[in-house]
Amino acid sequence: METQFIPVNIALLTISDTRTIENDTSGKVLRERILAAGHQLADQQIVIDDMYQIRAVTSQWIAKAEVQAIITTGGTGLTGRDGTPEAIKVLFDKEIEGFGELFRQISYQDIRTSTIQSRALGGVANGTFIFCLPGSSGACKTAWDDILQEQLDIRHRPCNFVELMPRLLEK
């Protein structure tokens, strides 16, 4: 018997001091890919690169049973304003170390050693899977196309994140 696709409710957060919904190319790339894959967009917001605003929005989503995954874009670099990892990591119950490692390994093929500047990370908080991506649309394409698209599809074998999402599978 073939496993049936289960859409995931994904919230999308762009972290930027300059982006608006009109010029948020990375948010647009992710939104289009999320919807094209058959998932549902639970919410989409933009916040400035402020640790407390990032935490506030993310914490609200983590507390909502209908949000199974959160993807953030932006704020993962090394500049003084880049604070996404510091804002989000403290919310994790468990970190998915392999997500950032795999993202950097895949990115190396395109941007070589510049990938060392990426602090992409993933984790789980209150049963919600969270993935923090760099702000470039290329990085968002890489993360979705080469990692998240498969891991957020219950049909992917030998394993995937969806089968681990307690809220999604509860009846």
> What is the tens place of the pLDDT at every residue in 57-104?
999 999 999 999 999 999 999 988 899 999 999 999 999 999 999 999
- Return the CATH number at 50: 3.40.980.10
Q: Domain range holding 88?
A: 9-163
This prediction's pTM = 0.96
At residue 140, does pLDDT exceed 70? yes
Q: Domains in the chain: how many in total?
A: 1
Half-sphere exposure of 169 (CA within 13 A, CB side): 11
Distances (CA, A) of 1 to 30, 155, 164, 165: 31, 11, 20, 21
168 inside domain:
no
Q: Which of 65-74, 124-133, 136-145, 158-167 has the lowest mean pLDDT?
A: 158-167
More confident residue, 16 or 171: 16
131 inside domain:
yes
Whole-number pLDDT of residue 157: 96
156 inside domain:
yes
CA-based torsion, 167, 41, 154, 140: positive or negative: negative
At residue 170, does pLDDT exceed 80? no
Average per-residue pLDDT in the chain?
95
How is 101-158 classified by DSSP, letter by letter?
Answer: HHHHHHHHHHHGGGGGG---EEEEETTEEEEEE-SSHHHHHHHIIIIIHHHT-TT-SS
3 inside domain:
no
Q: Which of 1-5, 65-69, 127-131, 133-137 has the lowest mean pLDDT?
A: 1-5
80 inside domain:
yes
When pLDDT is cut at 50, 70 and 90, the band that residue 169 belongs to is: low
CA-based torsion, 153, 106, 71, 95: positive or negative: positive
